[in-house]
Amino acid sequence: MADKLEELESLVFAGKVDIPNTYSAGLVGSRFLIELRDNKKITGIKCPTCNRVYVPPRSTCKYCFGKLSEWVEVSNKGTLLTYAVAYQPSPVQPVEVPIAYGIVQLDGADTGLAHMLGEVDPEQLKVGMKVKAVFKVKKERVASILDIKYFKPLG
Amino acid sequence: MAQEPSQEYIHVAYTMSRPYRWSAGKYLSKLYKEMRDSKKLVTNRCPKCKELLWPPQMVCGRCKVRAGDDWVELSDKGTVAGYTYLVYPLWDPHAGKRVGEDHPYATILLDDGMYMVSRLEEQDKEKLKVGMRVQAVWREEGRGRGLDEDILYFRTIEQ
Amino acid sequence: MAERVAIVAAAQTKYHPDRSDVTEGELAYEAIEKVLQETGLTYADDGTGIDSSVTCSQDFWDGRTMSNLNIISYDGSHLSCEDKIAEDSTNAVYCAFGQILSGQHDIVLVVSHCKESQAEKSIIENAAFDPIFMRLLGFDFLTANALQATRYMYKYGVTAEQFAKVAVKNRGNAKNNPFAQEPMDITVGDVLRSKMLVDPIRLLDTKPTSDGACAMILAREEKARKLTAKPVWISGVSNCYETHYLGDRDLADCDALVSAARRAYDMAGITDPLREIDVAEISEEYSYQELLWMEGLGFCGRGEAGKLIDAGVTQMGGQLPVNPSGGMLSGNPTVVAGMARVAEAAQQLRGEAGDRQVPGAGVALTHGVTGFCGQHQCVVVLSNK
Amino acid sequence: MANRVAIVGIGQTYHKSRRPDVSQPEMANEAVRAALADAQLSMKDIESVFFSNMETFEGIYLPDHGMADEAGSFMKPGFKIASGGTSGIAAAKEAFHFVASGLFSIALVLGFEKHDAGDTTAAITAATTLAWGKGQARGAIGEFAKQASNYMKQSGATEEHAAMVRLKADRCACRNPYAHLRLGLKSVEEILKSGYLEWPLRLLDFCPQSCGACALIIASEEEARRITNKPVWIADVVAVHQEPFRAGAFCDLDGREPYSQDVASTKLYKRNGITNPRRDIDMAEIYEPSNWEEMFLCEVFHFCEENEGWKLIEKGITEIEGEFPVNPSGGVLATNPIGATPTIRVAECALQIRGDAGEHQVTRDVKTAVATALGGPNWTAMVLLRRSL
């Protein structure tokens, strides 16, 4: 045992943690995703007490803790609340960089929906601009948030 | 939108393997290198309670003092303290797949008094006994990849 | 609260881009050993020593379920009490504070560790996003925070130059901090010319990959006075959860921080933070965050933090030096960052901060954040009186 | 002196293998609503929320952040505990500290786990890394299989005794509408026919993977007396952790190392004037991942003498009608959403003390009960509950 501990180089073990996951969308999430897939419609859920329409929908209102069940269809058009353009690639991105991300407040909703932006020059992006949802074609829609391909500038 | 809630439930399947680079630190590395280069188990001794630590480490958990650099070679013989064998292959998060195991595996009380989990060479379940004497069978070319790699399994030896 | 709780010792490792020479436990022990030596304490639950430990780490960063498995021997909790918090480590300080005030424990060791170098940041951070509506879009904290930065600039007219000034100030301050990882002499131009990662965030607006650990010992007043001549009192502390969905709130505001700060200030009896606080250590993982969090902390009105940096209020020698340590931008690991802030502030209040000392500092504000866009905020107010 | 602290609200979900009808936050929400209904409080009354969950089971980093709306923690203080299997009591322990200290008057504890999102055994195996421990653990199953073979050898217990424990658990679970596995098992023989997972641990010897959540509302004395006429007092809490591989985790044959259960319970009993646990405590809800473990745990918690845990089941002492009921809820053998499992132990003890356990209310009057958690490499957390202080 000749090596002095302080002179010893530590071994490093490269590996991974790899456990597949499957997430239940639940009743509310499923209904939202099915509407995307089957009808290209974006739906929200309304709190009758607070008079807010939530997109994405959820089953509890964070302000009054009421149970939510009143579905409303919101427009597939809305206003860009903020944006960012990713130039840095990462393993979690669904498409190639650059990716423009945005938060869109759809007409009829009181919250914004985070998604990607497309068919737009990043230089042209502006908070407040009008955008609309572009859906994937029917056979590519699988009841996923990615059934919306991205939002693109209106007009 | 007055229809009844859908009964179809959506699941989002998501697999994202997370890569890591785990360091063994100097103390474990010393053990692994001795295993690789000399087919020897070694560990360090606490300067206060004089007990052998296992695995080798920087601090004695019992005495809460730095354990230092007092190394001892260990016997690779021991006694089976408990054993079990896998019936269904289980998901191995480090392999990212289901992995079966041909060999039973056991907690072995090494002759120097520490516990070690390893495979047993003996595959005949009738011959497995708590209390049986075993000795490490070393991989011919050491890999320095830890206990599980450089010790193939423990072989039954005479009392 | 009849009782008071003090920090009696605090220590950090030097922060480093890659500590693959040590395990997490060995890394943590570098800091733990210092506080044990400083106080002469050992672990004992008979009233004579440390009677509990609170550790803070994240399973996803350590790459193992139960990341506290690594450090049981090192934090002294073998056959004794340990609790593991899984937020930023300011919350571990908060937890230990509660344990002591409850009468359950007298002296608590608080430890946090993280080795960012051993894991893939974007994959871990992506797993924090709701798996149904957000995760598949490929968000990590950098992209989500960039959305916040854009919104902040839009709503209040804060500029990229002002963000860059934070990066310049903090990396410059780091030159006086022996624990800092990346002290730098840079200009606003350097920041604005650095690589664009996610517009509007550039490379020098972000912190480097960092490994490190922090340890401190908290004690109730009676014990604290025996352990040190320079106790640093926790005079106010609170934390707060924000809503998860990015579009549920105006990202240019940080209501959870406002709420956490209000409760901490009430406890500490602070009514005018800018006037009453002498030094602030704020967790700014991105340069824009120092400005946004300053607004949440009530140092100025909403949208006014840009003016404070322009006026030099937050630089060394200004009315309120912010991050004399160099902050997160100069290199702290996530999880550990909050405790690094507390440890730095404790040194300030003991007058032991060396070249980065703020003269006469008596009251310090420290802050920790967990998650993207300020999902969870924690505020700790410290005082040396 | 610190404030007295009581449990004033208890809620749990129904526990199932799969819950496609709810997302993880929605599942947790069910327990929160149940606890609020039990306490007749609204979310506005809750000042802080303490979470218990283990991220790797569901592969969600910072899961508490994703459910701020559903857990009611939005704009409230709190944090998450993640100390493995003990988390669900550790979170209650922190809530106890924060209320006892006067920092909060009313706090919520929320334990949850949605095991249908991942692979539980794999996630437990991931407690090891390639650098140390690979091959040390085949999830919890391997550990408890070894523990079982040890216990058999050491105590003289037989597979029949283990089967009797499972039979008791199932009889109890069948009386508890919230329990996950309610199999209607009829005989020891039926259990001995179930296949081995890992010898000598049979499929029916081991706990299931459940989706579920459990919430507790914890209040200061002043608030507790206002909220309910049946407060359940938290007399004391304790946690003891242990170095992972020193004692070979679950089998220390030469007895050099004390067990964390022994250290924790000795401390808890001493602090609370309990000299004879079997006499001074009326029942226990313990975290027994396997029926073998239940027999062993009864010994290290000092409910009986060493190597006599199996005699408790043989003599019917731990039955619902027995002298010292253990896990009248059906226990972990019936229901195991890991982040919630210890929280459920506390909840079930509190229900028994209140006399509100319904069909599975034990025969004897419960004035004092102990809830325990088991996690990591044999870590222990305990809560002592009393009807009056």
The tens digit of pLDDT for each residue in D21-35 reads: 999 999 999 999 999
Q: Among B17, B18, B23, select the one facing A10 at the smallest CB separation.
A: B23
Residues of D in contact with A19 (CB under 8 A): 56, 59, 118-119, 122-123, 126
Residues A66, A72, A78, A83: is their CA dihedral positive or negative? Answer: positive
Partners of D79 in the β-ladder: D50
What per-residue confidence (pLDDT) applies to B4?
Answer: 53
Cα–Cα distance between D385 and D389 in angstroms, integer?
Answer: 9
Average pLDDT of chain A to the nearest whole number: 96
Contact call for D83 and C68, based on CB within 8 A: yes
User: How far C165 CA sits from the closest chain A CA (Å)?
Assistant: 21
Parts of chain C with a pLDDT under 50: none
State the pLDDT confidence band at A3, using cuts at 50, 70 and 90.
Answer: low
What per-residue confidence (pLDDT) applies to C70?
Answer: 85
* Among C228, C87, C24, residue whose Cα is nearest residue D131: C24
Q: Check CB contact of B11 with chain C, cutoff 8 Å.
A: no
Q: Check CB contact of A10 with chain D, cutoff 8 Å.
A: no
Give me the amino acid identity at D8: V
* Among D254, D238, C77, C350, residue whose Cα is nearest residue B109: D254
What per-residue confidence (pLDDT) applies to C225?
Answer: 96
Domain coordinates of chain B in residue numbers? 23-74, 75-159
Q: Check CB contact of B5 with chain C, cutoff 8 Å.
A: no
Residue D78 has pLDDT above 90, yes or no: yes
Domain residue limits at C71: 5-119+209-227
How is domain B75-159 classified at the CATH fold level?
Answer: OB fold (Dihydrolipoamide Acetyltransferase, E2P) (2.40.50)
Cα–Cα distance between D270 and D238 in angstroms, integer?
Answer: 12
Cα–Cα distance between C86 and C363 in angstroms, integer?
Answer: 28
* Among B44, B60, D265, B69, residue whose Cα is nearest residue C76: B60
The tens digit of pLDDT for each residue in D170-205 reads: 999 999 999 999 999 999 999 999 988 878 889 999
Tokens of C112: 């946090």
Angle at alpha carbon of residue C111, lines to C339 and C123, rounded to 5°? 75
The tens digit of pLDDT for each residue in D213-244 reads: 999 999 999 999 999 999 999 999 999 998 87
* Phi/psi at B91 (5° precision): -70, 125
State the pLDDT confidence band at D143, using cuts at 50, 70 and 90.
Answer: confident
Tokens of C83: 């609790």
Sole residue written with tokens 């991989």: B139
Residue ranges of alpha helices (H) inside D83-200 are: 87-100, 120-125, 139-155, 159-174, 188-192
Q: Which residues of D touch B (CB under 8 A)?
A: 20-21, 59, 119, 121-123, 125-126, 129-132, 134-139, 141-142, 145-147, 149-150, 153, 195-201, 243, 245-248, 251-254, 256
Question: Are D230 and D351 contacting, i.e. CB atoms less than 8 angstroms apart?
Answer: no
* Among C359, C368, C373, C315, residue whose Cα is nearest residue C147: C373
Q: Among A81, A86, A144, select the one facing C247 at the smallest CB separation.
A: A81
For residue C358, count other CB atoms closer than 10 A to its CB.
Answer: 21
Q: Which element (helix H / strand E) includes C273?
A: helix C273-276
Tokens of D172: 């109890």
The tens digit of pLDDT for each residue in D253-264 reads: 666 778 899 999
Average pLDDT over residues A68-73: 97
What per-residue confidence (pLDDT) applies to B1?
Answer: 45
Name the domain count of chain D.
Answer: 1
Residue ranges of C 153-192 with Cβ closer than 8 A to chain A:
154
CATH code where residue C26 lies: 3.40.47.10
* Phi/psi at D33 (5° precision): -60, -40
Contact call for D199 and B23, based on CB within 8 A: no
Residue A139 has pLDDT above 50, yes or no: yes
For residue C319, count other CB atoms closer than 10 A to its CB.
Answer: 15
Domain coordinates of chain A in residue numbers? 25-153
Question: Are D127 and C84 contacting, i.e. CB atoms less than 8 angstroms apart?
Answer: no
Q: Residue-wise over A105-144: b if at least 16 C-beta within 10 A, else e?
A: bbebbbbbbbbbbbebeeeebebebebbbbbbeeeebebb
Residues C274, C279, C285, C287: is their CA dihedral positive or negative? Answer: positive
Residue ranges of A 17-76 with Cβ closer than 8 A to chain C:
17, 21, 23, 25-26, 29, 33, 54-56, 62
Quick one: CA torsion of B85, B89, B92, B98, rounded to 10 degrees? 160
Cα–Cα distance between C289 and C145 in angstroms, integer?
Answer: 9
CATH code where residue D32 lies: 3.40.47.10
Name the domain count of chain C.
Answer: 1
Contacts of D8 (CB under 8 A, 6+ apart): D39, D41, D106, D217, D218, D219, D223, D224, D227, D228, D231, D232
Asked if residue D56 belongs to a domain, the reply is yes
String of DSSP letters for D250-319: T--TT--S--HHHHHHHHHHHHTT-S-HHHH--EEE---SBHHHHHHHHHHTTSS-TT-HHHHHHTTTTS
Cα–Cα distance between D170 and D184 in angstroms, integer?
Answer: 7
Domain residue limits at D218: 5-120+209-227
Show pLDDT as tens, one digit a residue, over chain B (159 residues). Answer: 445 554 899 999 998 999 999 999 999 999 999 999 999 999 999 999 999 998 899 999 888 899 989 999 999 999 988 788 877 888 999 999 998 888 988 888 899 988 888 899 999 989 998 889 999 999 999 999 988 889 999 999 986
Find which of C18, C117, C133 to mutate to test the A interface (most A CBs within 10 Å of its CB): C133
Q: Check CB contact of B16 with chain A, cutoff 8 Å.
A: yes
Question: Are C368 and C189 contacting, i.e. CB atoms less than 8 angstroms apart?
Answer: no
In this structure, what DSSP letter does residue A118 have? -
Q: Which ipTM did the prediction report?
A: 0.97
Contact call for A13 and B146, based on CB within 8 A: yes
